[in-house]
A = this chain, B = another copy of it.
Amino acid sequence: MTETQTRRQQLLDTAAELFAARGFHGVSVADLGAACGISGPALYKHFPSKEALLAEMLVAISEQLLAEGQARVADATSASEALSSLVDWHVDFALRHRALIVVQDRDWSSMPAESREQVRTLQRAYVDLWAAQLRLLDPRLPLSAARAMAHAAFGLINSTPHSGLLPADEMRGVLTAMALRALGSPVPGSPGLGSSGLGSSDS
């Protein structure tokens, strides 16, 4: 692999892989060190604690997701173009960083409180970025419903680590198409879906 990376980055990458496979509490610092060719407490030359390593990992990806998402929305000329670009970005990210995707919503609760709050804020902003575009497409859509739809789209796209059964190229096509269809027309016109009706017709 890329041997030119710094030891610090190697620790982050390897930790992502191990945490994704066995969970934060299921990986000891000795395991992590061994997987990096060093052993045990050498980790503390690069991070103040095991929790701090996790925090840096998750804060970094939350920032990256949000920053690129904002850039793409800014560059778009319509809501549908923005959403399409957001989907492409998130699919690309999920395919390139499967391990990080798993760790993010699995070991979120193992982070120190302050970083946990930071990630929560970043994630909320990212969700609202999607939700805003959805509400531009259908202004009758309540914010809470738009947020739920964004979360559902993330769940769909983030399913890729759990099913590594397609080559990345084909998986990209499947996920992109499904996500765009799922977000397509926010109000269900189809019959037989029950009487819930998503409210919001009058407010």
Contacts and interface: CB of A to CB of B under 8 A. Distances in A.
Contact of A23 (B107, B138, B198): B107
A73 to B, nearest CB: 15
B84 A195 contact: yes
Nearest to A106: B106
Nearest to A168: B196
B170 A196 contact: yes
The listed residue with most B CB atoms (<10 A of its CB), out of A156, A160, A162, A179, is A156
A173 B194 contact: yes
Nearest to A176: B193
Contact of A196 (B145, B154, B173): B173
Contacts of A185: 181, 199-200
Interface string A146-174: 01110111111111101101100111111
B183 A196 contact: no
A144 interface: yes
Copies, count? 2
Interface residues of A, number: 69
Nearest to A201: B80
A5 interface: no
A110 interface: yes
Contacts of A147: 163, 165
19 contacts: A22-B110, A23-B107, A80-B198, A80-B201, A84-B192, A144-B165, A145-B174, A148-B165, A149-B178, A152-B156, A152-B160, A155-B157, A156-B156, A156-B182, A172-B196, A176-B193, A178-B182, A181-B184, A184-B198
Given A23-B106, A173-B192, A184-B200, 18 more contacts: A23-B109, A84-B197, A144-B166, A145-B170, A147-B163, A148-B166, A149-B174, A156-B159, A170-B198, A170-B199, A173-B187, A173-B188, A173-B197, A176-B188, A177-B196, A179-B182, A180-B196, A181-B185
